[in-house]
Chains A and B, each alone.
Chain A
Amino acid sequence: MFIETRQLTKKFGGLVAVNEVDFTIEKGKINAIIGPNGAGKSTFFNLVSGSYTPSSGQVFYKGKDITKLPPNKIATLGVARTFQTTNLFEQSTVLDNVIVGHRLRTRSNLLDAVLRTKRYKLEEKKCRDKAMEVLDFVELTHVRGELAVNISQEEKKRVAFALALATDPEVVFLDEPTAGINPGETEGLAALMEKMVKRGITVCLIEHKMKMIMKLADKIMVLNYGEKIAEGTSEEIMNNQAVIEAYLGGDASA
């Protein structure tokens, strides 16, 4: 098992946002989580990446229980994520935005920074090189000197990918990576996700664009009102009665 959740539950007061979800994320595949608005997809992400602590249930990563770990520890283990809204530092260049992504693999501290020690110089270069590498990977080398405020929405999404990739992850969680961009650009990002998988990085994403998901994902989980209602390949999902009902509303027999 690569990543596995067991009876994962999150309650906000009386509201059960995620209810006893068992799910496994398969290594080297594109895993997708879909579901109507408010189905608990983002909450599920937050639980796995450590931003929320589950009310009950567990999360395992490569056989290790990571349920209680804070997000930064989980990131160090090799789990990266992006957010629905892209939080970039707009007054800074694209390259500068990405450099900090490799910080977790460095050890230099304040004293190194003030004294400009050898270790500091080495690690500064290491982070810079890593940033260059991931920007090249997401095909943004040409805008690396631009300020983040001046690049397009699609490019911002790519920067967010790059930032996640700079942490040297084994799995990347992408929260609606193609929200708010046009179909042509969506295909570009889908190709990028496939490229990530080819590199050996497992992808898990939340998406609303059905056509794209059905084509892209190797494995899909459907959530509705916090509960898993279906899991499987795209054909299985497309023909699943419960899924059709959830999306089309109740009576789908017509």
Chain B
Amino acid sequence: MGAYLKKRGWMIGFILLAVVFPFLSQNDYFLHVLTLAFIWMIAVYGLNLLAGYTGYLSLAHAGFFAIGAYALGLLTVKAGLNYWIALVLACVITSAIGFVVGLVALRTREHFFAIYTLCVGYIIYLVIDKWDSLTGGVRGLIGIPAPTAIGPISFETPLSQYYLILFFLLATILIMYRIIHSLTGRTFIAIRNSEDLAQTIGISTMKNKLLVFVLSTFFAGLAGALYASFIRFIGPDIGYITIIFDFLTYLLVGGLGTLAGPIVGTFLIVSVSQSLQFLQDYRMLIFGPLLTILIIFYPRGIAGAYLDFRMKRQARKKKSVPSKQTSYVQQSQEDEEKRVKEG
């Protein structure tokens, strides 16, 4: 049990804090900001699976976020569908479009992939912006309903929405944890590591990359759909390039390819950015250099830096007791712990 706590300590701490927070602070504004941050986190987790674990940096995810949001908005407002059906459909639609885009985009690699997806993202934005008859263009889409009640639980108050979105975030984290710590996750990491090598050990790279891409757009779509029902109004701006660079900043600061990264990065940037509101756009004068320094010295972000620190400390400990006999069980337990930390 002790080891269990130690292994997942940060996770349990986060969950407790997130669940208790509304009782600690009665401030509706904080609750609103935090709920929004949770939505970003879901999208950043999606991006992390693709960019962090598989090595494909997609810049189209703001576009998929917007597709999710608009799908939900249009299905509820114009088609009058039930909220939950619309939510499922929004995710399915986003994934389907992700599948088609992925088929083409994944034929490119590295910089070319980033540039290609950047263009795709921009095209999605343009389509939303210009297709006036469907999306309402720059006027946006208003009157998106809040999630409809499930039995006795309604989602009208900010507090209930907070918990609803927290629930989705925790589900996302659980799914990510299980994917990453599985053979499927190892397959993705093998692709990031070296695609040629992955192929020669029998991994169908295209199939796996497409799977990650679709999954990752699924989470972007889910985040978008939640955003739409939380803010109740959406405009084409949510698909704009600045959004994807926000996601990317959250991910880079938190730690690319780490499980804690999206939470740490998003929370940190959102809260710092809130407390620097008075500086308006000059905030970027602080963020820019900070981000540059972070990337130079800690390419795996804050979570990555922490993991490296722990690893080094452990290596030093090991050296000081060189002839420590470990039984098979102990060793495999240690293996297990390392495996978890690596994620």
Contacts and interface: CB of A to CB of B under 8 A. Distances in A.
A83 interface: yes
A18 B160 CA distance: 68
Contacts of A81: 200
Contact of B215 (A100, A110, A167): A110
Interface stretch (B135-143, B150-158, B333-341): B333-341
Q: Which of B189, B201, B203 has the most CB of A within 10 A?
A: B201
B186 A167 contact: no
A72 B194 CA distance: 14
Main secondary structure of the interface of B (DSSP, over half): helix
Interface in B307-343: 307, 311, 315, 331, 334-335, 338-339, 342
Contacts of A145: 331, 334-335, 338
Interface stretch (B76-84, B174-182, B224-232, B240-248): B174-182
Interface in A88-136: 88-89, 91-93, 95-96, 99-101, 103-104, 106, 108-110, 112-114, 116, 120, 123-124, 127
Contacts of A92: 189, 342
B5 interface: no
A127 B184 CA distance: 12
Interface string B190-215: 10011011011111110000010001
A113 B182 contact: yes
B3 interface: no
A94 B205 CA distance: 22
A72 B183 contact: no
B189 A100 contact: yes
Interface residues of B, number: 33
A91 B193 CA distance: 11
Contacts of B194: 83, 87
A96 B202 contact: no
Interface string A227-242: 0000000000000000
Contacts of A70: 199, 204
B185 A113 contact: yes
Given A87-B193, A145-B334, A104 B201 contact: yes
A103 B183 contact: yes
Contacts of A87: 193-194, 196-197
B175, B187, B202, B338 — most chain A CB neighbours (10 Å):
B202
Contacts of B315: 147, 150
A62 to B, nearest CB: 17
Nearest to B197: A87
Nearest to B307: A91
Contacts of B185: 113
Given A87-B194, A93-B339, A100-B189, A166 B183 contact: no
Can you list the 4 inter-chain pairs with the closest CB atoms, starting with the nearest? A104-B202, A113-B182, A75-B202, A87-B194
Given A108-B183, A112-B182, 8 more contacts: A70-B204, A99-B186, A100-B190, A103-B201, A103-B203, A104-B201, A110-B211, A113-B179
26 contacts: A51-B196, A51-B200, A71-B199, A72-B202, A72-B203, A72-B205, A75-B200, A75-B201, A80-B200, A80-B201, A89-B193, A96-B339, A99-B183, A103-B183, A103-B202, A104-B203, A108-B182, A110-B179, A110-B184, A112-B182, A113-B182, A124-B182, A124-B183, A147-B338, A163-B201, A164-B201
